[in-house]
Amino acid sequence: MVSRPTAVIILAAGLGTRMKSDLPKVLHAVAGRPMLLHLMDTVAALAPERAAVVIGPGMDQVASAVAGHPLEASCVVQEERLGTGHAARQALPDLQGFEGDILILYGDSPLLTAATMDRLLAARAGDLDPGVVVLGFHADDPGAYGRLILGDGGNLDRIVEAADADSEELATGLCNSGVLAVDGARLADWVEAIGNINAKGEYYLTDLVGIAVAEGRECEVVEGDQAELLGVDSRAGLATAEAALQTRLRAAAMAGGATLADPDSVYFSYDTKLGRDVSIGPNVVFGPGVSVADHVEIRAFCHIDGAEIERGAIIGPFARLRPGAAIGPDVHIGNFVEIKNATLAAGAKANHLAYIGDASVGAGANIGAGTITCNYDGYLKSVTEIGAGAFIGSNTALVAPVRVGDGAVTGAGSVITRDVDAGALAVARGLQTEIPGWAAKQRAKQKPDQD
C-alpha cells in the first residue's frame, strides 16, 4: 500500500431523484449499511490525513452519519448543485495547505475496494508524476458514460461527457468512472479554472484532465472492473449492488470455513461474523450485529438479527433471533421459536413454538411448546428468570416480572404470575370437570329424525 500523504473528498450531495425516496440516496442500505458508510469504511483503511464529505442543503441525516463515523471527516454543504467541479470546490477550504495526493470519490459507490484506491495512488506516485489519474473501465453499454480520450503516447488527453462528445469520441470504449487521484498541490488552482461552457452549463470535475494537460502535466488511466465501479442512482441499481456485495460476502464466508448449502439464498449483513465449521441451510437471513461461533448449525429459513450464538448451538429451522438474543453453548432453538433480548445458558432447549423475550434461561432448562414470556403490559417491559434445569410445561404463560427457580416445573397450560421456588411444581389452571355420558346425549339430541 502506498504510504504518501493522502486526503479524500467524497461527493455525496446528489438528490437521487430516480430513487423516488425521502431518504437521501447515499443513505440507502446495501447489506444492512448505508452506501456512504460502506465507502467511508473502505477509505478509513487507507488512513488518510484529511477527509471531507460534500453534501447538499437539508441533508442533516447524512451529516449525522458522517459525524458518527471513525473516519472523522468534515462535512461541507454545497448550497447550489452546479456540478461535480463546483462540489469539489466546496471542500477545498478544509484541505487548505495539503499538498499530497487527493482522492475524489462518490458516496453512491459502495463496491469500490481499498485495493483499487491504492492502485490509483500508486499511479500518482509513479515516475511520470501524473497530475491526474482517472479510474476508467470498459462498459458493456457505454451509453451516457463520459469517454476517456487517450493521446498518441497512450496517456490520458481529456475526458468528454457523453452529451458533449462527437460520434468518434462516443465510439471510444474506455469510460470514465468519475473517481480521480489528483496532485493536491495543484487541485485548488485547477478547480478554479473549470468553466461551465458545455451542454448542461455545469462545472465538470472531468475538465481537470484537460487543464492539467494544458499546463504540461501527464495524466493517466488506471482500469478497473465495471461491477466494482457501480454508481447507484435507482432502486434497480441498489438491487444490483446488493447482489454484488452478497456474492462477495458469501465467498468470504465459505473461504473462512462456513458451509452454505445454497449460497445464493443466504443473505449476510456487512458485519456478520462466522466461526469455523458453521453450517448454514437455505434461505437464512442475517441482519446487522450477528456473531456466530464455531460448530454452529443454522437450519433453513431462519432470520437472525443482533444476536450472539455460541459454539455448538443448533438454530432452526424457521427460528427468529432478534436483537439482544444471547445463545449459549449447545443450546437448541427449534422451529417457530422467537428469542428477543434474552440469554439462554449452556444446553438450554426451546425446540418449538415459543416466544422468549426479556428473559434469562438457565443451563439445561427446557422450554415446552407454546410457552411465552408475557414481558409487556402495555406500558413497561419486565423480566422473566428461568433457573437452571427448570422444565416449563407446554403452553405455559410466564407473566413477568416472575422467577422460576432451579429445577422447578410448571404444569402444561399454566399461567404463572408468582415466583416458583427451586424444585417445586407450579400448576395454575382451572380444575378439570367431567360429566359422564354428556357427549353421547348431545349427539343423540343433534341426530336428525329418521323417517
- Candidate list 28, 86, 332, 352, residue with the active-site label: 352
Cβ proximity of 356 and 339 under 8 Å: yes
CA distance 98 to 288: 37
Question: Kind and range of the H or E element at 391?
Answer: strand 391-392
Question: Kind and range of the H or E element at 38?
Answer: helix 35-44
What is the third-level CATH fold of 235-426? UDP N-Acetylglucosamine Acyltransferase; domain 1 (2.160.10)
pLDDT at 282: 98
List pLDDT tens digits, range 400-448. 999 999 999 999 999 999 999 999 999 998 888 999 999 999 999 887 6
pLDDT at 432: 86
Residue listed under C-alpha cell 436483537: 323
CATH fold match for the domains 6-223 and 235-426: no
pLDDT band at 166; cut points 50, 70, 90: confident
For the chain, the residue count is: 451
Please name the amino acid found at residue 79: E
Question: Between 207-214 and 184-192, two packed helices, what is the crossing angle to 10 degrees?
Answer: 110
Please name the amino acid found at residue 109: S
How many CA atoms lie less than 13 Å away from 9 in the CB half-sphere? 35
CA distance 429 to 354: 19
List pLDDT tens digits, range 104-137. 999 999 999 999 999 999 999 988 899 999 999 9
- In this structure, the dihedral spanned by the alpha carbons of residues 433, 439, 441 and 446, taken in order and rounded to 10 degrees, is 130
Helix, strand and coil content of the chain, in percent to the nearest 5, comes to 25, 30, 50
CA distance 425 to 216: 90
Residue listed under C-alpha cell 452546479: 82
Residue listed under C-alpha cell 482522492: 103
Cβ proximity of 232 and 241 under 8 Å: yes
Q: Which residues are CB-neighbours of 175 under 8 A, at least 6 positions away?
A: 136, 137, 138, 139, 142, 145, 146, 147, 148
What ranges in 146-264 are assigned the alpha helix state H? Answer: 167-170, 184-192, 207-214, 235-255
Per-residue pLDDT, averaged over 62-68, amounts to 95
- Taking the chain, what is the end-to-end CA distance rounded to the nearest angstrom? 98
Closest of 237, 242, 233, 277 to residue 256, by C-alpha: 277
Mind giving me the DSSP string for 130-142?
Answer: -SEEEEEEE-SS-
Homologous superfamily of 6-223: Spore Coat Polysaccharide Biosynthesis Protein SpsA; Chain A (3.90.550.10)
Query: Would residue 352 show up in a list of annotated catalytic residues for this protein?
Result: yes
What single DSSP character describes residue 386?
E
List pLDDT tens digits, range 85-103. 999 999 999 999 999 999 9
**Max CA pair span of the chain:** 113
- At residue 182, φ and ψ (nearest 5 deg) are -130, 150
pLDDT band at 2; cut points 50, 70, 90: low
In angstroms, the Cα distances linking 314 to 236, 299, 311, 419 are: 36, 8, 9, 30
Query: Which cell is 158 given?
Result: 481529456
β-bridge partners, 280: 260, 298
List pLDDT tens digits, range 338-384. 999 999 999 999 999 999 999 999 999 999 999 999 999 999 999 99
CA distance 287 to 294: 19
Cβ proximity of 42 and 63 under 8 Å: no
Domain ranges of the chain: 6-223, 235-426
How many CA atoms lie less than 13 Å away from 399 in the CB half-sphere? 9
β-bridge partners, 410: 392, 426
